[in-house]
Structure 1
Amino acid sequence: MKFVSIIIGSKSDYEIANECSKILSNFDVPFELIISSAHRSPERTHEYVKDASERGAQIFICMAGMAAHLAGAVAAMTTKPVIGVPMPGSAIDGIDALYSTVQMPGGIPVATVAIGKAGAKNAAYLALQILALNNESIASKLADDRAKQSEALIEDSKKIEVLIKEKA
């Protein structure tokens, strides 16, 4: 079975990671979500990445804060796409995690998205876009979702436009 693997560095990352899993669920894309740390459980991380790759993981989404080497450690272990989500919560609110995730050496790429909740959502959408390259059903659902987002924005704007006209 093909699936997306979501690895979070600690339990405190779960609430934000759940934003990612909700989107994958809405698109009927199978996923696994585990807690594993590049620093506190490096053997577990290595064993999981190897096992998940053999079982059909297509993409790894890694979420971690502070030093945030989880995505880089996973990228070093696989040639599958790795998406890194820097997490907030440090003394400098995730900037350290952003730098650690985005500054990878040449040849070991990590696609890095925004810090926190927006990043978790975008990681899911980026994974879906990658999967859609070879899956017309996902591609179609993505196009529909994008159209719905556009329609919702237009509806929100109409509400504001009415309020502004009423005040004038």
Structure 2
Amino acid sequence: MVSEVWYTVLVGLVALERLAELIVAKRNLAWSLSRGGRESGFSHYPFMVVLHTGLLAGCLLEVWLRGDDFRPALGWPMLALVLAAQALRWWCIRTLGHQWNTRIVVVPGLPRVTSGPYRLFAHPNYVAVVVEGFALPLVHTAWITAAVFTVLNAALLAVRIRAETDALRSAHA
């Protein structure tokens, strides 16, 4: 029971981090729109919100309902991955500055960011999402949540990355 309580605290902290992201995203959306930014790919956004909310809820429901014990050999490495994913996400947010958003918004005339983690690969924020999506549930052996989120997130990212790539290509053509 003690490990479930600590896991609930962890998921709560991740939820607070997500709320902080939404505050940053809202501020950045206003900044981008005031500079002529255009949003695209908005049809999949509600699904993304439901999926990410479902990840957090699924983690808690599965752990509390299934009652699996914390397994240190799995849990501690997964916790390290969760923390690494958070660090990568905030590196992305810091690198993109006002251009970072949970929505796909491109401001015409701004150069494409190629510094920070973006010099290493095109979509580092999505790497953070993928890692967090399987690691957070597996901190406390919520393998069903990890599997379901991973499959649904793969489908979502296929749509989202295509929409983002198209938006960036048309803005920088």
Query: Taking structure 1 as the reference length, what is the TM-score of the superposition?
Result: 0.35
Larger radius of gyration: 1
Which is bigger in relative contact order (C-alpha 8 A, separation at least 6)? 2
Q: Which has the higher strand share?
A: 1
Query: Would you tell me which structure has more helix in proportion to its own residues?
Result: 2
TM-score, structure 2 as length reference? 0.34
